[in-house]
Chains A and B, each alone.
Chain A
């Protein structure tokens, strides 16, 4: 009995401790950043290196970088995941090499991606400090997450569908299109959201690639400052930028929260649709 109570107590303590970290963090951000928040803050251009004004251009740059990252990484990842799960045998050497490299890639620190992106996209390909370089660098960084979640989603689709489809004389592509991809959609959405979450919070990989010009970008070839870089710059390099850094961080956390909620809603919706009908 005593042991049970003790265990319950410990579990509750750890739950409270973990939630407390999050609550304290958000409360702190709200306390210091709430005052600056307004609609104008979201759309105005920053003034005086970010001490005043808003984050309009920064939101636009962040959005562009994210859109670029996902539109490059998602199709590549889906194709790789389909190859790994449907078209290569489990023990093939080639897929083994791919999996191993992805594992390594997943554990590479983001600053290394930043340096690589700078050397390859900015300098070698001559894209310079630009939203394009930043987006492509982030795409390389989220590839392992996307491929992993996509292939796990596909692998979780029942083998029976593959068998039943084959018994009806359907080829693999048809089975994939009609049954396996729809079944895997909740997992695909979850993976996508995970990747977006990782990309939106990324700083180190962007410092050397998309740069930190805080003007409104005219094109993808312009340098653009992402939200996380804005926070980093305000709190590290700009004296008196703390309150605006807190506001920007509050926005970032709200975005992450929204992405999370949206993804679980979408996944649920898809599951529900699958059970009730497609």
Chain B
């Protein structure tokens, strides 16, 4: 019964009147996060590569419609944490994950969990833009087709919608059949976000999405992330503290202790940056450590 919740509305035409629009419309702030609803609940998550621990006992909740920023120095397990949320860690044979991750109240490690469907619902954007070596249009079309949307009219409409959503439509509408890898870095990253949005995910995991981009592209992508707030739940890893402060509703601070990453402090972004409870957090956000 609950699994219906994570089943995306694959064919909008099957549910007349219930079509979910892709277009985000004008920039607006997300819903107030003072009444947070837990979408992803992580309990005692530990993760190791072979016998090397990477993450120990991390527990936190990701709230629906909010932007949660994960900050902390390199090598403290932030990326591993992100990959565990949509089970991309399964791709690494030596990686062991223990602890509970519940998405909509369902354990994602349940054997009955359809991993491909989980990843469709929890999309991921990588640090380096990773467009496939095909045309711009095919980059979006191929995943759609694999998920059962192969009607050209429908997928063309989705291509236009998601490209408009990420502000790329005007720039590429005349060269949709041009290779995606000929786009600039910032455009490639926005294409990757569009590609993920086309699958109508509920959560977007972003692993330093701006750090490989120049400042202007970075600002464009950051602005885009702001506009996704409310409609999507976003977990973003960033090394740019100013960026985290600007965009996030919640923030988690990771640190390395006993040679494994752990979560030192988690709370509302304002609180983490303005009145951190832990001295390590205070030192890190003030720039005196890390």
| A residues in contact (CB < 8 Å) with B | 89-90, 160-171, 174, 178-179, 182-183, 274-278
Of A163, A174, A179, A278, the residue contacting B88 (CB under 8 A) is A163
Residues of B in contact (CB 8 Å), total: 31
| A278 adjacent to B126 (CB under 8 Å) | no
| B91 adjacent to A162 (CB under 8 Å) | yes
| B130 adjacent to A89 (CB under 8 Å) | no
A164 to B174, CA, bound (A): 26
Of B135, B138, B143, the residue contacting A168 (CB under 8 A) is B143
**Closest residue of A by beta carbon distance from B92:** A163
> Does B229 interact with chain A (Cβ within 8 Å)?
no
Could you pull out 6 A-B pairs where Cβ atoms are within 8 angstroms? Answer: A167-B123, A167-B196, A168-B196, A169-B117, A169-B147, A171-B146
| B181 adjacent to A164 (CB under 8 Å) | no
> Does B190 interact with chain A (Cβ within 8 Å)?
no
Given contacts A276-B179, A277-B177, contact A169 B119 (CB under 8 A): yes
| B135 adjacent to A169 (CB under 8 Å) | no
Given contacts A167-B88, A169-B143, contact A179 B123 (CB under 8 A): no
| A161 adjacent to B119 (CB under 8 Å) | no
A275 to B118, CA, bound (A): 32
Taken residue by residue from 144 to 176, chain B's Cβ proximity to chain A (1 for < 8 Å, 0 otherwise) reads as 001100000000000000000000000000000
Q: How far is the CB of A212 from chain B (nearest CB, A)?
A: 48
Of A161, A183, A275, the residue contacting B130 (CB under 8 A) is A161
> Does B71 interact with chain A (Cβ within 8 Å)?
no
**Closest residue of A by beta carbon distance from B90:** A166
**B residues 100-135 touching A (CB-CB < 8 Å):** 116-120, 123-124, 126, 128, 130, 132-135
Which A residues are CB-close (under 8 A) to B199?
A: 168-169
Which A residues are CB-close (under 8 A) to B133?
A: 161, 179, 182-183, 274, 278
| B181 adjacent to A278 (CB under 8 Å) | no
Q: How far is the CB of A260 from chain B (nearest CB, A)?
A: 26
Which B residues are CB-close (under 8 A) to A178?
A: 132, 134, 142
A165 to B142, CA, bound (A): 10
Which B residues are CB-close (under 8 A) to A166?
A: 88, 91, 119
Which B residues are CB-close (under 8 A) to A165?
A: 132
Given pairs A160-B126, A166-B88, A277-B135, 7 additional interface contacts (CB within 8 A): A166-B91, A168-B146, A168-B199, A169-B116, A169-B117, A169-B118, A174-B142
A276 to B91, CA, bound (A): 30
> Does B86 interact with chain A (Cβ within 8 Å)?
yes
Which A residues are CB-close (under 8 A) to B124?
A: 167
> Does B93 interact with chain A (Cβ within 8 Å)?
yes
| A164 adjacent to B146 (CB under 8 Å) | no
**Closest residue of B by beta carbon distance from A174:** B146
**Closest residue of A by beta carbon distance from B91:** A166
> Does B178 interact with chain A (Cβ within 8 Å)?
yes
Given contacts A169-B199, A170-B146, contact A164 B135 (CB under 8 A): no
Which B residues are CB-close (under 8 A) to A170?
A: 116, 142-143, 146
Taken residue by residue from 67 to 87, chain B's Cβ proximity to chain A (1 for < 8 Å, 0 otherwise) reads as 000000000000000000010
| B130 adjacent to A164 (CB under 8 Å) | yes
Residue with the greatest number of chain A CB neighbours at <10 A, chosen from B117, B128, B146, B181: B146
Of B93, B132, B138, B179, the residue contacting A164 (CB under 8 A) is B132
Of A160, A163, A164, A171, the residue contacting B116 (CB under 8 A) is A171
Which A residues are CB-close (under 8 A) to B130?
A: 160-161, 163-164
A165 to B134, CA, bound (A): 13
Of B118, B132, B138, the residue contacting A161 (CB under 8 A) is B132
Q: How far is the CB of A231 from chain B (nearest CB, A)?
A: 44
**Closest residue of B by beta carbon distance from A159:** B91
Which A residues are CB-close (under 8 A) to B196?
A: 167-168
Which B residues are CB-close (under 8 A) to A90?
A: 93
A74 to B123, CA, bound (A): 37
| B181 adjacent to A168 (CB under 8 Å) | no
> Does B195 interact with chain A (Cβ within 8 Å)?
yes
A276 to B120, CA, bound (A): 29
Q: List 5 tightest A-B contacts by C-beta distance, closest first.
A: A169-B120, A167-B124, A169-B119, A164-B130, A168-B143
A56 to B88, CA, bound (A): 59
A274 to B180, CA, bound (A): 11
A26 to B147, CA, bound (A): 57
A278 to B93, CA, bound (A): 32
Which B residues are CB-close (under 8 A) to A169?
A: 116-120, 143, 146-147, 199
A171 to B43, CA, bound (A): 28
| A277 adjacent to B179 (CB under 8 Å) | yes
**Closest residue of A by beta carbon distance from B120:** A169
Q: How far is the CB of B88 from chain A (nearest CB, A)?
A: 6
Q: How far is the CB of B37 from chain A (nearest CB, A)?
A: 24
A182 to B135, CA, bound (A): 13
A182 to B133, CA, bound (A): 9
Residue with the greatest number of chain B CB neighbours at <10 A, chosen from A161, A165, A179, A277: A277
Q: How far is the CB of B211 from chain A (nearest CB, A)?
A: 16
Q: How far is the CB of B237 from chain A (nearest CB, A)?
A: 14
Which A residues are CB-close (under 8 A) to B146?
A: 168-171, 174
Which A residues are CB-close (under 8 A) to B178?
A: 277
A224 to B124, CA, bound (A): 58
